[in-house]
Amino acid sequence: MRSMAHTTTGTTIGIIGAGYVGLTTGVCFSELGHRVICVDSDQNKLAMLQRGQAPIYEPDLELLLQKNLKSGALQFTNDIHAAVQGCETIFICVNTPPKPNGQADLRFVEQVAKEIAMALPDTYRVIVDKSTVPVHTAEKVAETIRRYNPTAKSFDVVSNPEFLREGSAIHDTMFPDRIVIGASSDRARAVMKKIYEPILKQSKAELCEVSIRSAELIKHGANSLLATKISFANLIAEACESAGANAAEVLHGIGLDKRIGRQFLQPGIGFGGSCFPKDIAAFRFTLETLGVSADFITAVERINLNAYQRFLKRIERELWVLDGKRICVFGVAFKANTDDIRNAPALRLMHAFIKAGAVVSAYDPKANQKAKHLVSEATYFDDPYAAAQKAEAIVVCTEWDEFTRLDWKRLRQTVVTPIVFDGRNIIDRAQAEKAGFIWHGIGS
């Protein structure tokens, strides 16, 4: 990790919701010299955090958590009242899950707004919405605070969306591309700039000062465009499979245009995780509410589902009867460098294999424990070679770096039939084929 600036002119920050975003933000702000109180309503999570244990796997997170807990710069509590009283800025970082129709469920945001309202002192407070929310939410948060505390006058609500990726959350927070601040008063903007000063100093981040509504739309727009790039790559992959071309070559050629770029054009078994699927569904709902056609977003969602279905069909076609077959899954996390399995395409595949009667073994470097609770019918291993024993097919679902370095000769000795389905196009195809494996990838 690169060295980080440390300020002595830190401010006091309350973070409500110590999940992926809240915990990472709190840890980074404390590392940068602010005094941070993180609030969470989950007692188990709090107990772990107070012991210096990170409830999630994220590179460098636990190290910085322990360091700043020890120095006293970072504290954890369930007392939101004390945090609001004691901190001049309060970040709302609670979850915003999807409703069945795609709309963002804002009950946790509203609950926190109510609790903040009851705890507001007379002195000025900045309430920052960092959770991903639809446009107009900050106005609703301000309205809620005024409704539950009609005498509250000295506060501003700011939108400050978060763009970190899981697996590189600390780095993304310390060295972001931009910091978006949507505020309606100079006073709130000044408080926010002071908080972000160390990050602006140490990174090349551009400060993007906009209206509150624009800030909210930037977040949904950015996630929708990133998801669009992935769906576009999957569309090209499907075209290449039908045309007898090679998606890796085609996408490389497309991405070399600097206006397009190479990033987020990796085809696979579809994007998963706790954000893209829910955020583009929420954006679809928002567009429809605004009277704007959401056909574009619907197409992105459809292509994403199709990427998964195409891969499953290919496995079914190649393996013929799944009933009784032993299938080994490499990677259950929704992406590499995380133990997050929310909306992981791997889990959906494992359910499909099990439903068809297959015997499923799985290996993930970090996510086995979490997956055990959701797909308990599978057997989990701490080592890929043990997981592949007697397998009749290996299915790669997550782009973990270690899968690029697998010993295919060793795997050949342990499997029954050497077939590999590479759902992320990351394995060393030449080595696998040299060892006798039949390789099936995406887009060729």
Residues forming contacts to ligand UGA in the complex (CB under 6 A) are 132, 162-166, 223, 226, 230, 264-266, 268, 271-273, 275-276, 279, 334-335, 399
Give the separation between CA 360 and CA 387, rounded to whole angstroms.
Answer: 9
- The helices-and-strands tally (H runs, E runs) of the chain is 17, 14
Q: Which residue has the tokens 């996630």?
A: 223
Considering beta carbons, is residue 90 or 329 the nearer one to ligand NAD?
A: 90
| Binds 265: which of ligand NAD, ligand UGA, none (CB < 5-8 Å by kind) | ligand UGA
Considering beta carbons, is residue 108 or 148 the nearer one to ligand NAD?
A: 108
Per-residue binding string, ligand NAD, 157-196, x by CB under 6 A, is -----x-x-x------------------------------
CA distances from 158 to 122, 187, 211, 382 (A): 18, 11, 9, 45
From the CB of 51, what's the least distance to ligand NAD, in Å?
16
Interface with ligand NAD, residue 94, by CB under 6 A: yes
Helical ranges in 244-275 per DSSP H: 247-255
- Of the candidate spans 37-45, 207-215, 360-368, 413-421, the one that interacts with ligand NAD by CB under 6 A turns out to be 37-45
Single out the catalytic residue among 38, 93, 240, 275: 275
Q: Strand, helix or coil at 331? A: coil
Give the separation between CA 30 and CA 91, rounded to whole angstroms.
Answer: 14
Contact 409, 385 (CB under 8 A): no
Contact 179, 215 (CB under 8 A): no
Interface with ligand NAD, residue 108, by CB under 6 A: yes
Which of residues 13, 15, 16, 83 is near ligand NAD by CB under 6 A?
16
From the CB of 252, what's the least distance to ligand NAD, in Å?
28
From the CB of 389, what's the least distance to ligand UGA, in Å?
27
Q: What is the maximum span of the chain, computed from C-alpha positions, in angstroms?
A: 74
E strands present in 337-424: 359-363, 379-381, 393-396, 419-422
Contact 408, 437 (CB under 8 A): yes
CA distances from 425 to 246, 261, 281, 417 (A): 12, 19, 27, 20
Contact 324, 359 (CB under 8 A): yes
275 part of the active site: yes
From the CB of 443, what's the least distance to ligand UGA, in Å?
12
Considering beta carbons, is residue 25 or 89 the nearer one to ligand UGA?
A: 25
Interface with ligand NAD, residue 364, by CB under 6 A: no
Residues at the site binding ligand NAD, with contacts judged by CB under 6 A: 16-22, 39-42, 45, 93-96, 108, 111-112, 131-132, 162, 164, 166, 274-275
Instruction: Give me the active site residues, please.
Output: 275
